Amino acid sequence: MLSDEMVKDALQVTKLERSRKRDEEVNKNLDYYSSNTKQYTMKYFDGATENEAPYSNYNFTTRFIDKMSRIYQAGVIRDGGVKYKDMIKNKEVAMKHQEKMSNLNGSMALLPTLGKDLIFKYQQIYKFVPFFDKDPLNPVALAYPIMLPVSDPSNTDELGWGYYDSTHYKRFDEDGTRVHSQAHKLGVLPVIFTHKDHQLDEFFVEGATDIITANEQVNVTMTELAVGSRYQLWGQPWMSGVDADKTYSRMGINNIVALDDPDSKFGIESPGGDLETSVNLVKFMVELVAQNNHLWITWAEQGGEVPSGISLMIRDLERHEDYVDGIELWRLYEDKIYEVEKALAKARGVELNETLGLDFIPPEYPLSTNDQILWDDHRLKLNIITEAELTLENNEDLGTIAKAKKVWEKRKKINDKNRNELQLPKASEPAPKVDNRINE
């Protein structure tokens, strides 16, 4: 019978091995997202391959992940109080990146901090070790490797670890010795965890493994295609019945190879592989992984008419359903982030609203000019939108409703003056009726 200590050690080794494998997986995901894929392709070939053709580095991972990340594509309207809007200038960009990295890695951590300028900053944590109490899906603490300035050749700092729980922040060196400890007095764990999907039976959620695997397979196939095309196009020269020690001049259209022996033979052989079949295989792999992630792709040679907004909506129906489900998940994450923001602001003497008002702006599909005019008129007639809001919608650089209102009033004044001079009806007045009946 195994002792408790032996079982404990075995479990610890297993947990450490799983943590190491996850770190390797995250590193690979980030490499593919940033197009640093050569190291993963070259392991399938010997060293001589690079002398024949460069390793293929086709990256559709970034494009797929970005297309899948739609929650923050059109933005979010947040209401947390008078001062809150000025404090979250960095949040929109941070949350867009957080969603993309969650779709890529499966699970991510986010660390909000409040600077001296009372502006929130948001640090993405890609690799971390969670610690649990009784709930296996919600950590009570985490440790994470502190990022070092690896691009600075003068930096000689050793790898360290940061640690957060609901009461303290601690820092450890690479040997596990505590070098700093400080109570943060927030009363909550100041780290939020976001996931690609709902958790099942464990904390971590699987990332974009299918996309990464397909991208790796495409790069391997395209590298083989590049190497094979050299021999498929030009073939491999060969000779028989000649002196092996004799040197022959390199072939070319201006060179003649002289064979001394009448029984000597010379020829060029080409591999029997079908290049077109390989290309179709690559297309099939890309299309399959796209469909599995509610995406669709169009190849350049397919051509066709430009699809309308309605046809795009119908074609995008599955993806829209996935988007609606995702909103509810990210609404929960936004609320958790806001709880940390409230605690950070309160520690600095700033009171925010008790709850956060959220409005996720849905992505828009392109409309024709006539459809856009009808839609704008419809919203104005039903008071769904004002003239100032419509002006801001068409020119977001104005920034605020107040500025948009001034611009609209100025334009209206100029247009009304021009209409008076030309004796045209004002925009708010109906056009005069014209009697087209023929006089008897």
Concatenated DSSP letters of 18-30:
HHHHHHHHHHHHH
Q: Which residue, among 114, 112, 72, has the nearest Cα to 93 in the 3D structure?
A: 72
Q: 183, 347 in Cβ contact below 8 A?
A: no
CA dist 32 and 201 (Å) reads 28
* pLDDT score of 55 more than 80: yes
* pLDDT score of 35 more than 80: yes
* pLDDT score of 71 more than 90: yes
Q: 18 falls in which pLDDT band (50, 70, 90)?
A: confident
Q: 193, 102 in Cβ contact below 8 A?
A: no
Residue-level pLDDT at 174: 79
Q: Whole domain around residue 406: which residue ranges?
A: 367-429
Q: 142, 131 in Cβ contact below 8 A?
A: yes
- Tell me if 394 is assigned to some domain: yes
Report the chain's C-alpha Rg in angstroms.
Answer: 32
> Mean pLDDT over residues 289-308, rounded?
71
Residue-level pLDDT at 160: 84
Strand order in 107-114's β-sheet?
120-125, 107-114, 192-195
Count the Cβ atoms, other than its own, within 10 Å of residue 202: 11
Using one digit for the tens of pLDDT, what is the confidence trace for 325-366? 899 999 999 999 999 999 999 999 999 999 999 999 887 777
As beta bridge partners, residue 358 has: 78
CA dist 421 and 85 (Å) reads 44
Residue-level pLDDT at 295: 86
CA distances from 105 to 20, 94, 110, 284 (A): 14, 16, 13, 24
- Tell me if 401 is assigned to some domain: yes
Count the Cβ atoms, other than its own, within 10 Å of residue 223: 24
CA dist 383 and 385 (Å) reads 5
Beta strands in 149-246 (DSSP E): 161-164, 168-172, 178-183, 192-195, 236-240
Q: 100, 69 in Cβ contact below 8 A?
A: yes
* pLDDT score of 253 more than 70: no
Secondary structure class of 248 (helix, strand, coil): coil
- Tell me if 99 is assigned to some domain: no
Q: Which amino acid is at 11?
A: L
Q: What are 78's two structure tokens?
A: 């947040």
Secondary structure class of 149 (helix, strand, coil): coil
> Mean pLDDT over residues 241-267, rounded?
68
Residue-level pLDDT at 114: 96
- Tell me if 111 is assigned to some domain: no
Residue whose pair of structure tokens reads 């091995």 in the numeric block: 17
Q: 139, 190 in Cβ contact below 8 A?
A: no
CA dist 343 and 352 (Å) reads 9
Count the Cβ atoms, other than its own, within 10 Å of residue 322: 15
Residue-level pLDDT at 352: 95
Q: 7 falls in which pLDDT band (50, 70, 90)?
A: very low
Q: What are 213's two structure tokens?
A: 């695997």
Q: Which amino acid is at 417?
A: K
- Tell me if 424 is assigned to some domain: yes
Residue-level pLDDT at 371: 80
- Tell me if 390 is assigned to some domain: yes
Q: If you average pLDDT over every residue of the chain, what do you get?
A: 83
Q: Count of domains in the chain?
A: 1
CA dist 88 and 73 (Å) reads 17
Residue-level pLDDT at 224: 86
* pLDDT score of 1 more than 50: no
- Tell me if 15 is assigned to some domain: no
Q: Which residue, among 322, 127, 124, 289, has the nearest Cα to 208 in the 3D structure?
A: 289
H or E segment and range at residue 285: helix 275-292
- Tell me if 225 is assigned to some domain: no
Q: What are 304's two structure tokens?
A: 């066709």
* pLDDT score of 440 more than 50: no
Q: 82 falls in which pLDDT band (50, 70, 90)?
A: confident
* Range of weakest confidence among 206-220, 246-260, 304-318, 370-384: 304-318
